[in-house]
Amino acid sequence: MEFNLQTKPKAPVVTPETIYDVLIVGGGPAGLNAALYAKRKGLSVGILAERLGGQVLDTSSVENYLGFPSETGEGLMKKFQAHVEELKVPVKEHLQITGIETGRIKKIHTNIGEVFQAKAVILATGSKPRMLNVPGEKEFLGRGVAYCAICDGPLFAGMDVIVAGGGNSAVEAAIDLAKIANHVALVHRSQFRADQILVDQLRKKENVSIHLNTQIQSVEGEGLVSHINALDKESEEVVKIPGNGLFVEIGYLPNSGVFEDLVKQNGRGEIGVNARCETSQAGIFAAGDVTDMPYKQIVISAGEGAKAALTANEYINTLKEEE
Amino acid sequence: MTFLNEEIKKQLEEVFEPMKKEVIVALFATKEMCETCEDTKSFMAEMSGINEKIKLEVYDLKDDAELAETLQVKRAPAIVLLGEGRKDYGIQFNGLPGGHEINSFISGLLEVSGSGEKLPEVFAERVAKIDKPIDIKVFVTLGCPHCPGAVSKAHKLALENLNVRAEMIEAQTFSELSDQYNVSGVPKIVINGTEELVGDQPLEMFLDAIERL
Ligand SMILES: Cc1cc2nc3c(=O)[nH]c(=O)nc-3n(C[C@H](O)[C@H](O)[C@H](O)COP(=O)(O)OP(=O)(O)OC[C@H]3O[C@@H](n4cnc5c(N)ncnc54)[C@H](O)[C@@H]3O)c2cc1C
């Protein structure tokens, strides 16, 4: 029996009364590393987050973070958090940012009614799973359609499941599910994007079938998912792939909706940043999966978070010189 | 069998430090066909050994049927957290709260002991207005990192308004019940048997669903 203890003895809390140098929105790798760097620069800093840890907590194993050849997502995140906790950075968790007012002092509005204040803000809200947008997907959400393999995998023990996608998360999900499910069908509209080392592991699994160049058209079933219809692009035929579960792992969409009017975003809703993590709005910086920086990875998000904090530090210093 | 290693125990000691009042952990087990009852007993015994404010009472679903009925316990293993003066807030755990779910169990203990966080004002008013019986079931798996969040929110509602009952249900232990509610994604939140939410939804979504009833 494992115990995944997350609850921590009370850390200091971000308060609405204080005007911080920097407030960071988001507690994933980008937000946490930004906090580390900002604090070490001597800034007054706090983290506001819906759930500390971010997507890394939904990851079963991480094998590409330098210095940690093989860690669970949770294990790696515990180390990140412990490092930040040592510096006593105040945190306020379980809230959603609903908007930010610009100005010399930025006002951060939340769903819990409290408004927080800072001279600079770092947006590090990450991303959420992208949907297939095919008929049946919404209807069968929680009735076979799933977006978190480590959460919902056990509910499909001994059943047939389908994984949609061809990147690292899809291949990892398929490898993990193959241990629990009777059969796993991986379906992807083009060729693999995943690391070769993962694809090789997947190909070794006996209960996995791989359908590349196959486009999912609809999710079908009665009450619960029974199969998908997909277009085999080579034969141009529609094939029926049976499965009680469909795990959608086709990439991510930035959590940037609430910042639409605040900062410039590209067509995909990613916040535009320059090499210094500056956005189109003075005093608002952004880092990690929520930005238009290419490649969404833990090590990259963490690095970007550091950069955003260093740029924010310079911004705060110039403000102080002006005063 | 021991469940908690020294490291976790030490962390838990700190975590339970702020507990204000005693909490009774009323555990219901059964002698027949219960794979996890013994484990749940040992685990709860260890937890109650960590802080003296955690009092364990072990009952049998059949022998103590009357109490089970009063507390609306229908399955085993099930845990009810009772506050000062044996007050029943309707906070239940069905199935061993291990894995990630240890977090919702801890937060339940802290809340019932009176050391939880205050509900933000925007929600407090809406919660106070709930005037009909509400039953919230939150289905979870132990490997689900964002399930405890949903469980704790449901429990918080139960704590704040006695018309609300909220139970965590471990989907694999109670697979028949999960099948009955078509649970194939967690956390799945079912309110009064009809309103369904999937995912760790923010509190306002719980309240919207309750107000729709
Ligand atoms: C299943 C899976 C497997 C993966 N495997 C790997 C891997 O093996 N290696 C690797 O390098 N990368 C992997 N990734 C990608 C990696 O997890 C992300 O690139 C990384 O977590 C991005 O970090 P971030 O800090 O930008 O955002 P996130 O981790 O998404 O964190 C976002 C934070 O913002 C908070 N938030 C969001 N919106 C709001 C709001 N409105 N208000 C308040 N808070 C908000 C969230 O609660 C969270 O704390 C994987 C991802 C997934 C989902």
Q: Which residues make beta-bridge pairs with A241? A: A228
Q: Is the CB of A56 under 6 A from ligand 1?
A: yes
CB A170 within 8 A of CB B156: no
Q: Which residues make beta-bridge pairs with A278? A: A285
Ligand 1 centroid to Cα of residue A55, in Å, is 3
The full set of domain ranges for chain A reads: 19-128+252-322, 145-248
Residues 6+ apart with CB under 8 A from A184: A160, A161, A162, A163, A174, A177, A178, A205, A207, A208, A209
Ligand 1 centroid to Cα of residue A175, in Å, is 21
Rounded to a whole number of angstroms, the distance from the CA of B66 to the nearest CA of chain A is 32
- CB of A82 within 8 Å of any CB in chain B? no
- What pLDDT is stored for residue A7 in this prediction? 66
Is the bond preceding residue B202 a cis peptide, omega within 30 degrees?
A: no
* Residue that is written with structure tokens 């933000």 in the block: B120
ipTM: 0.86
Model-level pTM greater than 0.95? no
Burial code of A120-145, b = ≥16 C-beta within 10 A, e = fewer?
A: bbbbbbbbebbebebebbeebbbbbb
User: Residue B202 — very low, low, confident or very high, per pLDDT cuts 50/70/90?
Assistant: very high
Q: Is the pLDDT of residue B178 over 80?
A: yes
- What pLDDT is stored for residue A142 in this prediction? 85
What is the chain A residue with the closest CA to B189? A142
Q: Residue B210 — φ and ψ, nearest 5°?
A: -65, -40
How many C-beta atoms lie closer than 10 Å to residue A79's C-beta?
Answer: 12
Ligand 1 centroid to Cα of residue A53, in Å, is 8
Q: Which of A151, A157, A223 lies closest to B186 in CB terms?
A: A151
Q: Is the CB of A153 under 6 A from ligand 1?
A: no
Summarised one tens digit per residue, pLDDT across range A252-267 is 999 999 999 999 999 9
- CB of A158 within 8 Å of any CB in chain B? no
Residue type, A110: T
Average the pLDDT over A276-282 and give the result.
98
Return residues 18-77 of B near A (CB < 8 Å): 18, 39, 43
Rounded to a whole number of angstroms, the distance from the CA of A45 to the nearest CA of chain B is 22
Summarised one tens digit per residue, pLDDT across range A221-259 is 998 999 999 999 999 999 999 999 999 999 999 999 999
Q: Residue B82 — φ and ψ, nearest 5°?
A: -105, 140
Q: Is the pLDDT of residue A132 over 90?
A: yes
Residue A306: enclosing H or E segment and its boundaries?
helix A298-322
CATH of domain A19-128+252-322: 3.50.50.60
Rounded to whole angstroms, the Cα distance separating B80 from B93 reads 7
Q: Is the CB of A150 under 6 A from ligand 1?
A: no
Rounded to whole angstroms, the Cα distance separating A182 from A166 reads 20
Q: Is the pLDDT of residue B76 over 70?
A: yes
Average the pLDDT over A263-284 and give the result.
98
Rounded to whole angstroms, the Cα distance separating B39 from A176 reads 26
First-to-last C-alpha distance (Å) of chain B = 45
Average the pLDDT over B180-192 and give the result.
94
Total residue count of chain B as it appears in this document: 213
Q: Which tokens sit at A177? A: 């599910």
Is it true that A19-128+252-322 and A145-248 share their CATH fold? yes
Q: Classify residue B173 by burial, with Cβ atoms within 10 Å: 0-12, 13-18, 19+.
A: buried
Chain B interface mutation, best of A7, A8, A56, A93, highest count of B Cβ atoms under 10 Å = A7
Average the pLDDT over B83-108 and give the result.
97
Q: For residue B13, give the nearest of B51, B56, B52, B40 by alpha carbon.
A: B51
- CB of B2 within 8 Å of any CB in chain A? no
Q: Is the pLDDT of residue A10 over 80?
A: no
Sheet holding A208-211, edge to edge: A145-146, A245-248, A160-164, A183-187, A208-211
CB B139 within 8 A of CB B188: yes
* Domains assigned to chain B: 20-112 (3.40.30.10), 121-212 (3.40.30.10)
Summarised one tens digit per residue, pLDDT across range B107-161 is 999 999 999 988 999 999 999 999 999 999 999 999 999 999 999 999 999 999 9
- What pLDDT is stored for residue B117 in this prediction? 86
Q: Is the CB of A255 under 6 A from ligand 1?
A: yes
Residue type, B60: D
Q: Is the pLDDT of residue A3 over 90?
A: no
- What pLDDT is stored for residue B54 in this prediction? 98
Rounded to a whole number of angstroms, the distance from the CA of A193 to the nearest CA of chain B is 27
> Chain centroid to CA A92: how far?
19
* Mean of all residue pLDDT scores within chain B: 95
Coil, helix or strand for A225? strand
Rounded to a whole number of angstroms, the distance from the CA of A154 to the nearest CA of chain B is 7
Q: Strand A91-93 and strand A71-72: pairing? A: unpaired
Average the pLDDT over B201-207 and give the result.
94
User: Residue A5 — very low, low, confident or very high, per pLDDT cuts 50/70/90?
Assistant: confident
Q: Is the pLDDT of residue B32 over 90?
A: no
Q: Which tokens sit at A182? A: 């009777």
Q: Which of A94, A223, A245 lies closest to B182 in CB terms?
A: A223
Q: Is the pLDDT of residue A1 over 80?
A: no
- What pLDDT is stored for residue A173 in this prediction? 96
Q: Do B185 and A151 touch (CB under 8 A)?
A: yes
Summarised one tens digit per residue, pLDDT across range A27-59 is 999 999 999 999 999 999 999 999 999 999 988
Sheet holding A224-232, edge to edge: A214-222, A224-232, A237-242
CA distances from B148 to A174, B102, B152 (A): 25, 8, 6
Q: Do B172 and A155 touch (CB under 8 A)?
A: yes
Q: Do B143 and A154 touch (CB under 8 A)?
A: yes
User: Residue A277 — very low, low, confident or very high, per pLDDT cuts 50/70/90?
Assistant: very high
Q: What count of CB pairs under 8 Å joins A to B?
A: 119
Q: Which tokens sit at B65? A: 């049927």
Ligand 1 centroid to Cα of residue A27, in Å, is 9
* Mean of all residue pLDDT scores within chain A: 95
User: Residue A323 — very low, low, confident or very high, per pLDDT cuts 50/70/90?
Assistant: confident
- Say which CATH class A145-248 falls into: alpha beta
Summarised one tens digit per residue, pLDDT across range A139-193 is 999 889 999 999 999 999 999 999 999 999 999 999 999 999 999 999 999 999 9
Burial code of A163-192, b = ≥16 C-beta within 10 A, e = fewer?
A: bbbbbbbbbbbbbbbbebbebbbbbbbeeb
- What pLDDT is stored for residue B14 in this prediction? 93
Question: DSSP letter string over A163-212?
Answer: EE--SHHHHHHHHHHHHHSSEEEEE-SSS--S-HHHHHHHHT-TTEEEE-
Known catalytic residues of A? 148, 151-152
Q: Is the CB of A47 under 6 A from ligand 1?
A: no
Q: Name the residue of A23, A36, A59, A95 to mutate for ligand 1: max ligand atoms within 8 A of Cβ.
A: A59
